[in-house]
Amino acid sequence: MLNLLAINPIAFSLGGLEIRWYGILIATGIVLAFLVVQREMVKRGMHQDFLTDLLIWAVPISIISARIYYVVFSWDMYKDNPINAIKIWEGGIAIHGALIGAFLTAYFFTKKRGVSFWKTVDIAAPGILVGQIIGRWGNFMNQEAHGGPVSERFMETTIIPDWIMKQMTIDGVTYHPTFLYESMWNLVGLIIILLLRRVALKRGEMFLFYLTWYSIGRFFIEGMRTDSLYGGILRAAQVVSIVTIIGAIIFFIMRRYVTKVKETYQDQ
Q: What's at 57, amino acid-wise?
A: W
For residue range 161-176, what is the model confidence (pLDDT) as tens digits?
A: 999 999 999 999 999 9
107 lies in some domain: no
Written as one string, the DSSP assignment of 131-160 is HHHHHHHHHHHHT-S-BSBPPHHHHHH--S
pLDDT score at 170: 92
Query: What confidence category does residue 82 fall into, taking pLDDT thresholds of 50, 70 and 90?
Result: confident
Percentage of the chain beyond pLDDT 70 is: 97
Sign of the CA dihedral running 245, 237, 91, 104: positive
pLDDT of 64 higher than 90 = yes
Query: What confidence category does residue 7 fall into, taking pLDDT thresholds of 50, 70 and 90?
Result: low
pLDDT of 13 higher than 70 = yes
pLDDT score at 3: 45
Query: What confidence category does residue 268 fall into, taking pLDDT thresholds of 50, 70 and 90?
Result: low
201 lies in some domain: yes
Query: What confidence category does residue 6 fall into, taking pLDDT thresholds of 50, 70 and 90?
Result: very low
Q: Find residue 235's DSSP bridge partners.
A: 230
145 lies in some domain: yes
The mean of the pLDDT values for the chain is 91
For residue range 212-258, what is the model confidence (pLDDT) as tens digits?
A: 999 999 999 999 999 888 877 889 999 999 999 999 999 999 999 99
pLDDT of 44 higher than 70 = yes
The tally of domains found in the chain comes to 1
64 lies in some domain: no
pLDDT score at 9: 82
Range 188-193, long-range pairs (CB < 8 A, 24+ positions): 189/129, 189/213, 189/214, 189/217, 190/126, 190/129, 190/130, 190/133, 193/125, 193/126, 193/129
173 lies in some domain: yes
Q: Which of 46-55, 176-185, 259-268 has the lowest mean pLDDT?
A: 259-268
Q: What domain range includes position 175?
A: 2-46+115-258
Q: What is the mean pLDDT of residues 169-195?
A: 96
71 lies in some domain: no
pLDDT score at 116: 95
The pTM of the full predicted model, rounded to 2 decimals, is 0.91
